[in-house]
Amino acid sequence: MENFIVSARKYRPATFETVVGQQHITGTLKNAIKNNQLAQAFLFCGPRGVGKTTCARILAKTINCTSLTAEQEACGTCESCQSFQSGHSFNFHELDAASNNSVDDIRSLIEQVRIPPQAGKYKIYIIDEVHMLSTSAFNAFLKTLEEPPSYAIFILATTEKHKILPTILSRCQIFDFNRIQVDDISNHLAKIAERESISTDNDGLHIIAQKADGGLRDALSMFDQIVSYTNRNVTYKAVIANLNILDYDYYFKLTDFLTSGDVSNTLLLFNEILNNGFDGNNFINGLAGHFRNLLVGKDNQTIQLLEVSENIKQKYLAQSNGANLGFILTALNLANQCDLNYKNSKNQRLQVELALIKMCHIPSVIQLANTATDQDQDKKKTLVSSGQTQSTRPKDQNETVTETPKPTAPASVEKKEEPAVPKIAQTVPPKTEAPKVSAAPTSPIKIQPLAKNTGGSMIPSLTDFSSGNNLEGEDKGPQYVSGSDTQAFTQDQFMAVWKQCIQKANAEDKIHLFTLLSSNEPIIDGTDIIVSIENIALESTLQDEKIELLNFIRSQLKNFDIQIVTKRIEPKQSNRIYSNKDKYAYLVEKNPQLEEMRKRFNLDLLP
């Protein structure tokens, strides 16, 4: 009886050309051989079964081949290639770091490196699973890896690059292997099946490629298993039965029940899936993947993201065209939430059933939303036709409403604006010598924006009041007072009013405002009052009290162009006394005889 060789070994690539799905790696290595630019150390890293060790062996055989082809491939017929293929080459050494991870193993390897090759140009050392080496072994390997002999090349392979010391990584050329695409694995399996005269179908090979998760070795192992199970007839039904994979038809049928809102058949189908031995968590994950495929099938640009066979792809396209996009997105979200809550749920079956019931009610919710939208549109059309749109439209905050008094009845205009006068005048502190704002005979009080930017974020503008100027009885908060009278004032007049503000703040227990007004004397620049502020807290206090303060100063000085401008200054530095020596020095400065007394009684200061 002939010994059976598994496909992963029998069809292991022997040249760069036969490596599957790693063209970016093989192309780089062939160019390095062609240009004679080989590094002293390579690091091949990536998932399992993607060709790391295979590429290392091909590289080792190729760089010692004496008759390279025009494509920079090993000839396979020279003495070096023959000895390599038979396993008798003295220039090739392979070490499994998983079982040889001690310092002594690395020292033995270093001793071998010192011996030059007897035949051939290079000696190649492949260390597989290099992340399994101990820290001491890594440190013992550092110097040789950085400065090896000219004839020595090290090829390291690992699945966990993050476990390798950075000092090792910096001494190697790093090649990251990708997961092999589903189509590449499926095509490779089809070629092997053709050589072995095995009957297959594309749907079954795609299922194997998807289950392999990017690893060609895993795909070949599953392929051998299914070939034995089906007696060399690999079909889609046989593959899903052997690998315990839920059939696509279940998901297509379930989606039809969900879109039609059929709760009963949905729950019965889920019960059938559980009775067939499938786990609820795997089912909900598969359902989420099904909705994802429906989502990418809605757009022609994303159809290429469907990693399924051509027959299954047509089914997805047909169902995605008939499904509502809102349903797909909502169902996908529900499936994701169910997956997150599944492990923490005590009744996991109920968790999945609740998610399915919610999905069944998605079409009715979408229909209600569409109905409400249609009713709103009909209502708007009715309002437009009846001429009510303009009256019911809310005013935009950016609109500026200006009222021009009618020339025929100026008295009526003033009479309409009269009720707003006392309300604004309430913000002005009562003072016997101050003129009342409401006493202006010709121009009523209006709310207008500041003429200059004072730098404060809380200063109101005209847009703040544009939507509520005509509302009666509504409290709009403190507002600036303006008038037509503008009189000049002197420094002494202003300081007198400023002192009144300080006394008023003290009487009303406004500590922060009192500190601000009394700490620094303001500077007058025309109609701008420059107030020096030391910190953000005082600036915030000024912004809160600014309206009332300005109204008081303007009314007292009868100048409505006055503005308050803030200016940040550095806080005053004060020599604080902390230590005992500082305290003693301060006291000695006040009374020098204290030092004489200390010397007389031979006293020391406490630390």
pLDDT tens, position by position, 411-425: 433 444 444 434 433
Distance CA 430, CA 432 (A): 7
Residues 6+ apart with CB under 8 A from 185: 20, 21, 208, 209, 212, 214, 216, 219
Distance, CA of 507 to chain centre: 54
pTM of the model as a whole: 0.57
Backbone angles phi, psi at 36, to 5 degrees: 55, 50
Distance CA 285, CA 386 (A): 54
Distance CA 287, CA 281 (A): 10
SS3 call for 199: strand
In order, the DSSP letters of 313-370 are HHHHHHHHHHS-HHHHHHHHHHHHHHHHHHTT-SSHHHHHHHHHHHHHTHHHHHHHHH
Give residue 485's pLDDT. 61
CATH superfamily of the 423-572 domain: K homology (KH) domain (3.30.300.20)
Give residue 412's pLDDT. 39
Residues 6+ apart with CB under 8 A from 370: none
Fold for 182-242, please state it: Helicase, Ruva Protein; domain 3 (1.10.8)
Distance CA 45, CA 129 (A): 9
Which residue numbers in the chain have pLDDT < 50? Answer: 1, 388-475
Distances (CA, A) of 460 to 265, 424, 466, 543, 548: 63, 14, 11, 11, 13
Distances (CA, A) of 241 to 14, 208, 308, 321, 483: 34, 12, 18, 30, 90
**Which DSSP letter does residue 565 get?**
E
Which amino acid, residue 302?
Answer: T
Pair 204, 239: CB distance under 8 Å: yes
CATH class of 7-176: alpha beta
Instruction: State whether the Cα torsion 54-56-57-63 is positive or negative.
Output: positive
Distance CA 583, CA 452 (A): 50
Distances (CA, A) of 499 to 122, 201, 350, 562: 95, 97, 76, 17
Domains of the chain by residue range: 7-176, 182-242, 248-365, 423-572, 575-607
Average pLDDT, the chain: 79
The rounded radius of gyration (Å) of the Cα atoms in the chain is: 43
Fold for 248-365, please state it: Zinc Finger, Delta Prime; domain 3 (1.20.272)
pLDDT tens, position by position, 62-80: 998 888 888 888 888 888 8
Distance CA 206, CA 312 (A): 10
Distance CA 526, CA 536 (A): 26
**Which DSSP letter does residue 130 get?**
G
Residue 258 tokens read as: 């969900």
Residues 6+ apart with CB under 8 A from 509: none
